[in-house]
Amino acid sequence: MKCVLFYHAFTSCWNNGNAHFLRGYARALHALGHEVVVFEPIDGWSRLNAIRESGSQALQDIGQLFPGICIRRYDTSLDLDEALDGADLVVVHEWNSPDVIAQIGDKRAHGAPFTLLFHDTHHRAVTAPAELAQFDLDAFDGVLAFGEVLRQIYMKLGWADRAYTWHEAADVTLYHPLPNVEPTEDLVWIGNWGDGERGAELGEFLVEPVAELKLRASVYGVRYSDDAIRTIQAAGIRHSGWLPAHWAPVAFASARATVHVPRGPYVRSLPGIPTIRVFEALACGIPLVSAPWSDDEGMFPDGAYLKAADGTEMKRALRAVLDDRELSSAMVETGLRTVRERHTCRHRAQQLVDIVEAIRGSDRSSQPLHIAGASA
């Protein structure tokens, strides 16, 4: 199967947490024997910001991570007939421009034989529905929603038999334990500040516990305000800026624990959707303590990570993880097993293939499909 993937950013992970999964499932599709071609705009904001911050060399080694995958950058002169020639599957991410989404949909509406899927990995379906409404999806064969609660939104919009729950997952070819790396810190947190959607939560579940427990800690990420950086540094936390996604395993291996602090919209409006950092941390074998979020879909069993309802519980949990080697070892074992058995990019790539085969073999008027490993 020839798979053509359109993503706003693939070679850059600057403020782009999706990069891990997008790259990982592309790699997994190729490993399953499929041809993979990825298109990204040459002027994408993630790519331009990465170059602006770290220079063009920041992205030079990315292509080497994905042998066999064709990565093509395009501008306004993109020839879609050429780009889509011979495609069996086309996946278009929701951060593409409305024009690109509409043009690809038009090709499908006028008889292009490929299966066309829309990939939604954001909270704006509930926080900014007007932005989603600007996309013309009439010709798309289906929607890949990265959580069941998001799929339900598409069902209400009329996609009852064509919306699929397709969670993110860990690319275990890159994200795995590094036992030869000696931990030098107590805690590491990887995440972008963004628009302050979790400023209060970061204070309660990261900054204050680190300060009160006097932990050695580092934070990686971009778009931190000057005030945020001052607050972090006042707590004794080192702010280390942008960390390319494929370097995260080393950062995790260099610390004895990490925390999960989801953005407010996911906690309030899209329960059941973990951030990519949960998959990364568990795959890398680092004990994880999470701020409140609801695992409504039962993705992770008890013991894979610890839960903290407030800052006091976070301090208590971190102290336990750092002091109790038996507890932390059990958490690592459970987390690793869960990811390897259920949440790898290879699992998701196979689910995607199953979804495509089901769409091709189904009657649009039939009952909603139920695919093994994916919800529909």
Range 199-218 average pLDDT: 96
Query: Domain check: are 140 and 211 in the same one?
Result: no
DSSP character string of 277-298: HHHHHHHHT--EEE-S---TT-
CB 169 within 8 A of CB 279: yes
> How far is Cα 280 from Cα 248, in angstroms, rounded to an integer?
8
In this predicted structure, what is the pLDDT of residue 267?
Answer: 81
Residue type, 122: H
- Provide the b/e sequence for 309-341 (b: ≥16 CB within 10 Å): eebebbbbbbeebbeeeebbeebbebbbebbbe
- CA 212, distance to chain mean position in Å, is 31
- Crossing angle for the helix pair 19-31 and 345-361, nearest 10 degrees? 70
Query: Domain check: are 319 and 263 in the same one?
Result: yes
Query: Domain check: are 237 and 115 in the same one?
Result: no
CB 59 within 8 A of CB 12: yes
DSSP H/E element including 188: strand 187-190
In this predicted structure, what is the pLDDT of residue 271?
Answer: 84
Residues 96-133 have pLDDT tens digits of 999 999 999 999 999 999 999 999 997 676 767 777 77
Query: Domain check: are 163 and 150 in the same one?
Result: yes
Query: Domain check: are 140 and 204 in the same one?
Result: no
pTM of the model: 0.92
Range 339-350 average pLDDT: 98
Given a cut of 80, whether residue 138 has pLDDT beyond it is: yes
Given a cut of 60, whether residue 364 has pLDDT beyond it is: no
Contacts of 177 (CB under 8 A, 6+ apart): 253, 284, 285, 332, 336
Residue 75's closest CA among 97, 55, 102, 107? 97
In this predicted structure, what is the pLDDT of residue 376?
Answer: 43
Report yes or no on 216 lying in a domain. Answer: yes
Query: Domain check: are 337 and 290 in the same one?
Result: yes
Q: Is 99 exposed, middle or buried (0-12, 13-18, 19+ CB in 10 A)?
A: exposed
Query: Domain check: are 16 and 83 in the same one?
Result: yes
Query: Domain check: are 330 and 226 in the same one?
Result: yes
Residue 289's closest CA among 176, 342, 210? 210
Q: 273: domain CATH number?
A: 3.40.50.2000
Query: Domain check: are 148 and 57 in the same one?
Result: yes
DSSP character string of 56-85: GGGGTTTGGGSTT-EEEEE-TT--HHHHTT
Range of the domain at 34: 2-169+344-361
Please state which of the ranges 34-48, 163-177, 328-342, 355-369 shows the lowest mean pLDDT. Answer: 355-369
Query: Domain check: are 17 and 164 in the same one?
Result: yes
CB 105 within 8 A of CB 139: yes
Report yes or no on 260 lying in a domain. Answer: yes
Please state which of the ranges 154-158, 341-345, 348-352 shows the lowest mean pLDDT. Answer: 154-158
In this predicted structure, what is the pLDDT of residue 51?
Answer: 92
Q: What is the mean pLDDT of the chain?
A: 91
Hey, is 352 helix, strand or coil? Answer: helix
In total, how many domains does the chain have? Answer: 2
Range 53-66 average pLDDT: 81
Report yes or no on 286 lying in a domain. Answer: yes
State the number of CA atoms in the 13 A half-sphere of 299 facing the CB.
28
Could you tell me which residue, 290 or 60, shows the higher pLDDT? 290
In this predicted structure, what is the pLDDT of residue 368?
Answer: 36
